[in-house]
Structure 1
Amino acid sequence: MDLLINQNLFIIITILLSSSFSMGLGNEIQNLGQYPLVVSTWPFVEAVRAAWRAVDNGLSAVDSVVEGCSACEELRCDGTVGPGGSPDENGETTIDALVMDGTTMEVGAVAAMRYVKDGIRAARLVMQHTQHTLIVGEKASNFVISMGLPGPTNLSSPESTAKWVKWKDNGCQPNFWKNVLPANSCGPYHPRKLPSFVEGTCSRGSVGGIPSTSSHIDLQNHDTISMAVIDHMGHIAVGTSTNGATFKIPGRVGDGPIAGSSAYADTEVGACGATGDGDIMMRFLPCYQVVESMRLGMEPKLAAEDAIMRITRKYPNFVGAIFAVDKNGVHAGACHGWIFQYSVRSPVMEDVQVFTVLP
């Protein structure tokens, strides 16, 4: 036990000493409630700076979110945002993105979008020029190109292609298939006959939890930038962008473009952003839960923790994280399965600060 405590202390001290940004441990440090405010998953500092420049110059919350997420796409943040990363089983990169206006509750989103690199701007076009919420696949590409975005273009990169070739050489392992044959090589796959009891709720809900895909999710495969902005008027917007899980089954859509899962905003209450195992999170709509918990009076810290715990009760191996921010700009985070960091810029800060949340 003493050894475990010492190891944990060493991890905490290392995090504090190694960071070049101001940090708060866990959920304990929150800002003073001023806005405008920008909050983003991960130390995507340049993306937060881009959003801050926009909102500080008087742009709306929606416009500022678009500027921030677009900067992350251009920088290819962590290889999981924008073009050039996260190849699917066919070696192709596709884009998921969402933007939500917390004042009008309008949402625009694209999913499994091919040939167009500007995910967040594509999502904005869906919100601006259609009465729909979500457009997917190649038809989404055709729509946004017709609305003026550049394309078609190849979204792969030498790095994503090399990663895919290495994965193929390793027998397509790991992958997201289950209950198929062949089990340890590349497809085509065929269903494996299962005992009838596997379909029962008792076996799936047994002690130890329901199996999840979180073994594939780590700090280099965490999917999403999720960003919230409160503008000078107090209006709130959120946006997300991702190129999805690496080696996903083609056509897969994660939680990135799903309102209430990767992000949610209501100007009357606050906002939430999430990152991690999107296939699990979208089953719980954690960001919708966070905002509704804050509506009922729960503090951002407790609302974020409660949403994470609701997932881990069913999926103990879940890997993911949430930030919550109320309408006054008070923010907090919660996570499970990894150490989470989120970035903040407010009027009382000289530059972006990165906050660290321990699982």
Structure 2
Amino acid sequence: MCSPLPLLILRLLLLTHPSLGRHLRHRESRKIHSVVVSTWNYTDANLQAWSVLKQGPRRTRQAVIQGCLACQNLRCGRLLGGSYGPDERGNLSLEAAIMDGRNQKFGAVAGMEGIRNAILVAEAVLQHTHHSLLVGKGATDFARVMGYKEEHAVNLNTKNVIGNWTFARCQPNFWRDVVPPPRTQCGPYSPLPQYLLQRPMRQEYPITQGEHDQLAFLALDSEGLIHVASYSSGARFRLRGRVGDSAVPGAGIYADNEVGGAIASGDGDVLMHHLPAFLAVEAMRAGQSPAKAAAKVIQRVLKHNTEFNGAVIAVNRWGTYAAACAGMDEFHFVVSGGKGFLRMARVERVKCQDRKDVVDGGPKGFFTRKPMKNRKIE
């Protein structure tokens, strides 16, 4: 039988030194809670990432990679499936990135045509080169060197998407200050004369549930290791050669084991202006909670882009997480693990900030159609 003496001594210490009890309770509350967080409501991809993470420590990289790989089919929507997100010339390309929270090393590819496993190629950039980002044909060539087979991805679905878009006078598109007017006609385009240039206006990329072209993952294990990753089929009807936020460090993803990590989703061109994932991590470094950090980042973006549609999820080094958003009724994201939860791959929702609470007036873009509100998920 164990002696009661050590227990009696501990009780006496707690009675005579209340601060010791507070210290012990604080240490208990600072336990790291393993978690996998992903943007939007694709539970299957999140669950696959979690199934890797729960196998043991130091599997955060494999976890976020597995999450991205799970979306290379229609389980994560048509656009991420591969054949429904062509550029304006009908070409299909992918981009992906991965970041290691231990040292902020980053590997990414963008505008990569003909290679399906973009996230694996991004990891190869991280592991086998001194570079951070490869694009276009160079990324495809590198993938072939790494042993990935080139595929002819354009199919009947892609051709139908481009055909319908052309029939609709190439709406929406990403041109401005050109002739003929891009809001009513297809190109080829030429620059407007200098004296006819208009005030720059931003047409935000509309977000519709189930029609997302980007997905991001964050994995934190019990040892405090963090990896983040992002995978994207690219904005539909983009100009050929466009690089999105998935491939830019700090825009779509960022991680630092000493602080935490963040993932973002929305109009990639706006996200690249502000680097919201990086800003959220730095806000937490300055002492802000994940909830306050995410909210502040969204407010900052809105001040410069009044019609912004998107979201940021911040996770601190202990596994506490929070999200903030704008441009939708609410933002959906998926979580496995975390403090006090037993149900995995649960869809969580956060109400988006009202623009009127952040900005009064300001420049507004021209909309061919208004951003669609989120449909209820069954």
Query: Could you tell me the TM-score, scaled by structure 1's length?
Result: 0.84
Alignment CA distance shift 1:81-1:331 (3 Å)? same
Mapping of residues 117-196 of structure 1, within 5 Å: 117-149=116-148, 151-183=149-181, 184-195=184-195
Q: Does 1:91 align with 2:90?
A: yes
Q: Deviation of residue 77 (structure 1)?
A: 1.6
Counterparts of 2:51 and 2:208 in 1: how far apart (Å)?
A: 31
Alignment CA distance shift 1:215-1:103 (3 Å)? closer
Please tell me whether the aligned partners of residues 177 and 197 of structure 2 are also in contact (alpha carbons under 8 angstroms): no
Q: 1:241 aligns with which of 200, 212, 231?
A: 231
Asked which structure has the greater CA Rg, the reply is: 2
Q: Does 1:353 align with 2:367?
A: no
Amino acid at match of 1:188: P
Which runs of 5 or more structure 1 residues have no equivalent in the other structure? 1-30, 205-210
Counterparts of 1:270 and 1:283 in 2: how far apart (Å)?
A: 22
Please tell me whether the aligned partners of residues 343 and 352 of structure 1 are also in contact (alpha carbons under 8 angstroms): yes
Q: Does 1:270 align with 2:260?
A: yes
- Describe the superposition over 1:309-358 as per-residue Cα deviations: whole angstroms up to 9, x where unpaired: 11100111111111111111101110000121010000632321111111
Please tell me whether the aligned partners of residues 115 and 153 of structure 1 are also in contact (alpha carbons under 8 angstroms): yes
Q: 1:51 aligns with which of 49, 54, 66?
A: 49
Please tell me whether the aligned partners of residues 110 and 135 of structure 1 are also in contact (alpha carbons under 8 angstroms): yes
Amino acid at match of 2:228: V
Please tell me whether the aligned partners of residues 34 and 346 of structure 1 are also in contact (alpha carbons under 8 angstroms): no
Counterparts of 1:276 and 1:249 in 2: how far apart (Å)?
A: 18
Mapping of residues 181-330 of structure 1, within 5 Å: 181-183=179-181, 184-195=184-195, 211-219=201-209, 221-330=211-320
Counterparts of 2:241 and 2:210 in 1: how far apart (Å)?
A: 21
Alignment CA distance shift 1:75-1:166 (3 Å)? closer
Q: Relative to structure 2, which stretch is displaced further, 157-166 or 287-296?
A: 157-166
- Describe the superposition over 1:69-98 as per-residue Cα deviations: whole angstroms up to 9, x where unpaired: 111124462223252221110111110100
Counterparts of 1:287 and 1:272 in 2: how far apart (Å)?
A: 5
Please tell me whether the aligned partners of residues 83 and 157 of structure 2 are also in contact (alpha carbons under 8 angstroms): yes
Counterparts of 1:331 and 1:251 in 2: how far apart (Å)?
A: 35
SS in 2 for 1:316: coil
Please tell me whether the aligned partners of residues 315 and 322 of structure 2 are also in contact (alpha carbons under 8 angstroms): yes
Counterparts of 1:268 and 1:245 in 2: how far apart (Å)?
A: 33
Amino acid at match of 1:334: A
- CA-based RMSD of the aligned residues comes to 1.9
Which runs of 5 or more structure 2 residues have no equivalent in the other structure? 1-28, 353-378
Amino acid at match of 2:187: G
Match of 2:331 in 1: 340
Amino acid at match of 2:100: D
SS in 1 for 2:245: coil
Q: Deviation of residue 236 (structure 1)?
A: 0.3
Which consecutive segments of 4 or more residues in structure 1 shift more than 6 A?
Answer: none
Amino acid at match of 1:322: V
Please tell me whether the aligned partners of residues 262 and 313 of structure 2 are also in contact (alpha carbons under 8 angstroms): yes
Alignment CA distance shift 1:130-1:334 (3 Å)? same
Please tell me whether the aligned partners of residues 82 and 117 of structure 1 are also in contact (alpha carbons under 8 angstroms): no
Q: Which has the higher contact order (CA 8 A, sep 6+)?
A: 1
Query: Could you tell me the TM-score, scaled by structure 2's length?
Result: 0.80
SS in 1 for 2:235: coil
Match of 1:13 in 2: none
- Describe the superposition over 1:17-40 as per-residue Cα deviations: whole angstroms up to 9, x where unpaired: xxxxxxxxxxxxxx9975321000
Counterparts of 1:84 and 1:296 in 2: how far apart (Å)?
A: 43
- Describe the superposition over 1:292-325 as per-residue Cα deviations: whole angstroms up to 9, x where unpaired: 0001110101100111111100111111111111
Amino acid at match of 1:343: V
Mapping of residues 7-46 of structure 1, within 5 Å: 34-46=32-44
Counterparts of 1:81 and 1:104 in 2: how far apart (Å)?
A: 29
Share of identical aligned residues, percent?
Answer: 36
